[in-house]
A and B are shown apart, each in its own frame.
Chain A
Amino acid sequence: MSPRPSYLVIVPAYNEAGCVGDVVRSVRMNQPDFDLLVIDDGSTDGTAEVATAAGARVLRMPFNLGIGGAVQAGFVYALENNYDYMLQVDGDGQHLATEIPKLLRAMDENPSLDMVCGSRFLSAEHGYPAPISRRTGIHLFAFLLSRIIGHRVSDPTSGFRLYNRRGIALFARDYPHDYPEVEAVVMLHFHRLRMREVPVNMRPRGTGRSSIGSGKSFYYMVKVLLAIFIGLARRRPTPEPGDEAPVAAAHNI
């Protein structure tokens, strides 16, 4: 193992050609030592080309898998290429590369943490503008998760996250499908991994569209609630090595 820890930054992007170039350049400028992987989730607008031109490696999904599947590919990549840490920075320009050191510092200060999450609601001058439909969902999840895991979670939908090897290994094995950040917090808790939030500033979205439009917010809210409560009822949230595969040809009525 190398004496200096290796970092992988993943940038999931779906039709973010207008933004992803700036994100890549700004991460490279702020953290030149980090490897950068853009995960193009089946974009149709040349996101992959823009990212390649900006100097990133690109993982091209053959079709749109949804954010969960795309990010999980990043975890698998980090695992297989033996990275010590993986950092997720969204491709829409919401997460600022200049805020990355805050996450790194939190992880350095407390090596028992498996995930550090940037929260836009902990910072003093947040005033983060989000549509009311989304804010309602975020606060509802924040409330529920805080109850379930027993300490405060203020921004459970934030994808601005830093994971260590244990976090990478867990999520490479199993990562939720839709709106995965919320469920991921529950999964961490059940696997006795530790997380902490740090205050960061975020920018409102640039070009492109969020994967969650306001009309769909409610649908996703219900879906994630279902996922959380069913997750609670699972004896073991994810299959362990040697267990039966979660989906095998033999499984049927």
Chain B
Amino acid sequence: METRIQILAVVASGLLFLVVLELVRRRRLLERYALLWLLSAWVLLALAIWQGLLSDLAKAIGVIYPPNALFLIAFGFVLLLLLHFSLAVSRLTDQTKVLAQRLALLEERESRGVPEDRAEQEREEAIELVAHSPRSK
């Protein structure tokens, strides 16, 4: 591989790795979301440094110019990360919906002035009902 592009690749993936670590250290990024980033940075760094591995890999998947294989792998990680975020967004959407519903139900109950013990009893009944709701086969 050409030296210039190798240096660029090493610096870029090394920088990515450090930035992600620093963000986790400052508690700006949760470990849960950092893992995939760290993994991608590691793999890219390893491939950038270890030239033989990259050219072997490129040959194996039929890529003539090895740096292109590096970009292909990087692109794969980007897709994976995007999917990861779509999952996270879906989860948050669902959690937000449930929170909004609970809030609305609580506010309505409070505006009716339902005493706490009765509210508790209603909740227990509801849980009981869910436990006996229809099951699919």
Given contacts A169-B133, A172-B130, A173-B130, whether A73 and B105 have CB atoms under 8 Å apart is yes
Say yes or no for B84: interface residue by CB 8 A criterion: yes
**Complex: A126 Cα to B94 Cα, angstroms:** 38
Contact B122 A246 (CB under 8 A): no
Question: How many contacts between A and B, using CB within 8 angstroms?
Answer: 96
Q: How many residues of A contact B (CB 8 A)?
A: 42
Q: Shortest Cβ distance from B15 into chain A, in angstroms?
A: 24
Say yes or no for A251: interface residue by CB 8 A criterion: yes
Given contacts A82-B122, A82-B125, A241-B131, whether A252 and B101 have CB atoms under 8 Å apart is no
Say yes or no for A111: interface residue by CB 8 A criterion: no
Contact B100 A252 (CB under 8 A): no
Given contacts A61-B104, A73-B105, A79-B126, whether A237 and B84 have CB atoms under 8 Å apart is no
Given contacts A247-B94, A252-B88, A253-B87, whether A59 and B133 have CB atoms under 8 Å apart is no
A-B contact list, 23 entries, CB within 8 Å: A37-B108, A60-B108, A61-B100, A61-B101, A61-B104, A62-B104, A65-B97, A65-B100, A65-B101, A72-B97, A73-B101, A73-B104, A76-B105, A79-B129, A79-B130, A170-B134, A172-B130, A190-B136, A240-B135, A249-B32, A249-B91, A252-B32, A253-B80
Which A residues fall within an 8 A CB radius of B?
37, 39, 57-63, 65, 69, 72-73, 76-77, 79-82, 165-166, 169-170, 172-173, 177, 190-193, 236-238, 240-241, 246-249, 251-253
